[in-house]
Amino acid sequence: MRGYGKTSSELKQLVSGEMSSALPTKLDDSSEKKLARLRDAKTDGFSSEYEPMQASAHKDAVSLFERYAKGGDNPKLKHWAGKTRRALQHHLEMAQDMDKNRK
């Protein structure tokens, strides 16, 4: 299974010049708010916040990578998105199982 650090490094290697400036350097407002909710969650309520967030985030990531793998304009990135999507799909299934088992 591919780690997120490895995935980020691969992406950074694929993009260069002008494209690299399009990579985010910080979290967006929505992600900051989610992180704050996790920080503020009580120990017994943490998983009820965390698990649905993980399932949702992985679902969004799979969708994004799938769309780019099918219709992206950069052949190297399309290939990378296609192979990385498989790992993300596996992570999505694990996150969904984790969330389902909590209920």
Residue whose C-alpha is closest to residue 54's, from 34, 84, 76: 34
Q: Is residue 47 part of a domain?
A: yes
96 domain residue, yes or no: yes
- CB crowding 84-97: b at 16 or more within 10 Å, else e: bbebbbebbeebbe
Report yes or no on 1 lying in a domain. Answer: no
pTM of the model: 0.78
Residues 43-95: pLDDT tens digits?
888 988 999 999 999 999 999 999 999 999 989 899 999 999 999 999 999 99
The verdict on residue 77 lying in a domain is yes
User: Does 9 fall in a domain?
Assistant: no
Q: Is residue 95 part of a domain?
A: yes
Assign 18 to helix, strand or coil: helix
Q: Give the number of residues written for the chain.
A: 103
Nearest 5°: the CA angle 27, 48, 55 is: 55
The whole-angstrom separation of Cα 68 and Cα 74 is 9
Structure tokens at 50: 């965390």
Structural domain that includes position 95: 28-102
Confidence of residue 1 (pLDDT cuts 50, 70, 90): very low
Q: 92 in a domain, yes or no?
A: yes
CB 33 within 8 A of CB 70: no
Q: How many domains does the chain have?
A: 1
